[in-house]
Amino acid sequence: MVGPRRPQFVLFGSSVVQFSFGEEGWGAILADIYARKADIVLRGYSGWNSRQAVEVLDQVFPKDEAIQPSLVIVYFGGNDSVLPTQDGLSSHVPLDEYVENMRKIAIHLKSLSEKTRIIFLTAPPVNESQILQFFGTKGRKNELCKKYADACVKLCKEMNIKYINLCTTLKQRDDWLTTCFTDGIHLTPIGSKIVAKEILKVIMEAEWKPSLDWESLPVEFA
């Protein structure tokens, strides 16, 4: 840990999180905007689903740490919502289990500190044709993505958690199918800018005390 201590924002999820620190990724955008104000910490694990996330909660977010995150942005659902395979080797997690896993994640994060805030990102839409081209599989369907996204939104409303429905957010662009994805799943700079803009909007509009809006945080050694 280096000082002075700043608010810590943790990005927790699968490859959409892991790759977010790439060039013009949404995590990199947040790190740039919050430079000298907050530390953006990456905890992204490519290929993971909510089941794997639950298994490492205590390791990634120990309850006995003296300093707890100010904000945790959680993304799981894209891999959970893939179609199951006969060999059982896909990352598919049944919808009911996915919801309960996300509930466990939320409960754990809420227990870290009274000042730890949470934003959930839902499963995004996909470009099915692009996925077939890049991965040679039909295992991801927009119909399933929407079901998992809707279930995540319902849980967030129930638990009073801020959320961003990526299924609706990315589709605000008429050309989302051709501009938002590099391979049908992962985000282009255009897709990342949309996600980062929505995250900043949620933080700005949240009635959190203290506010985590970048304009409200002091500049270190100003």
In the chain, alpha helices (H):
15-18, 26-33, 50-55, 57-60, 95-110, 128-135, 142-159, 166-169, 176-179, 189-205
* 108 noted as active-site residue: no
Cα(209)–Cα(148) distance, integer angstroms: 31
β-sheet with 8-13: strand ranges across: 39-44, 8-13, 71-75, 117-121, 162-164
CA neighbor of 168 nearest in space, from 198, 201, 141, 200: 198
Cα(33)–Cα(200) distance, integer angstroms: 10
* 14 noted as active-site residue: yes
Which of 113, 183, 192, 211 is catalytic? The answer is 183
* 192 noted as active-site residue: no
Beta bridge partners of 40: 9
Which of 50, 80, 186, 192 is catalytic? The answer is 186
Sign for the pseudo-dihedral over CA of 150, 155, 160, 164? negative
Q: Are 8 and 115 in contact (CB under 8 A)?
A: no
Show which residues are catalytic.
14, 183, 186
